[in-house]
Structure 1
Amino acid sequence: MNEHTTNYTNTFIEVAEDCPVSEAQIPPEKNEKTLANLQHDQIVKNPYKYSSDDIIFTCYTIKNDISKSEEQEERNKFFSKGQPCLRTSPLAKRYGFGIHHNSEGKVAIFPVESKDYQTFLNDSSITKVKAMRSKRND
């Protein structure tokens, strides 16, 4: 299987340096669910149930109206090339959520102001990476 993956293990994605909020915000709903809404709903309702690949692909199937019967073939195509990982998620870039990947690569989110967030930051056994910045350093 030469699949590209977005999964991490034992890793905490910190909010971006240029994240505009100091307390996490639930992404506001627009007319149509945004990527942030889809990711937030999926992770909050199912902490540590899905991997990053599962979340990213499920959001893609919803946005692109892919049927259940097409899913496996589409997933193979989707991951045949590299995909942006959750470091690019609006949850970590814009809305103030840290994203933890456990030892099995399953994901949960934690508000930047929470004790859990601080616990992850202070845990030397976990790899820390920052979410991508929204703006480039010019």
Structure 2
Amino acid sequence: MHTTNYINTFIEVAEDSTAEKAEVPPMKGAEKTVAGLQFELVYDHPYQYTSDDLIFGVYARRNGLKKVDLDAEREKFFSRGQACMRASPLAKKYGWGVHSNEEGKVALYPVESEEYKRLAADEQLKHTRAMRSKKS
């Protein structure tokens, strides 16, 4: 079984991100984007979901999975590797750092905030960056 969870880790915005200030991902027509759904779940419920919960929850919602099928579908979903929060547009494009606590539960921090700066400097955490948007 694969996982996207991190423990005691801070995912900083991508090196090639132009975001100086975090922004809420825009909607695409009448539909929320993956970034918009991730933002809605995590921002409104910090440290409530693991990365696995979040990524599968967005997948399930976008694919209209039925509640009775969720356990089996989750097992099938994680039977192969999935992109983690380092690939999320929240950290790549929209200026949000992603902190995973000791339980692997995540919260978002705007790049311009004092809390982001504190987490980015915290030597007790593992640090990584969101994936670059452009290949170089």
Flag whether TM exceeds 0.5 (same fold).
yes
Report the equivalent of 1:84: 83
Q: Which residue type is aligned with residue 17 of structure 2?
A: C
Distance 2:20 2:105 in 1: 25
Report the equivalent of 2:108: 109
5+ residue gaps, structure 2: none
- Alignment TM-score, normalising by the size of structure 2: 0.98
- Alignment TM-score, normalising by the size of structure 1: 0.96
Number of paired residues? 135
Over residues 76-133 of structure 1, what are the superposed CA-to-partner deviations in whole Å (9 max), with x where a residue is unaligned? 0000000000000000000000000000100000000000000001110000000000
Distance 1:20 1:62 in 2: 30
Report the equivalent of 2:41: 42
5+ residue gaps, structure 1: none
Report the equivalent of 1:14: 12
User: How much does 1:20 deviate?
Assistant: 1.9
**C-alpha RMSD of matched pairs (Å):** 0.5
SS in 1 for 2:109: strand
Q: Which residue type is aligned with residue 10 of structure 1?
A: N
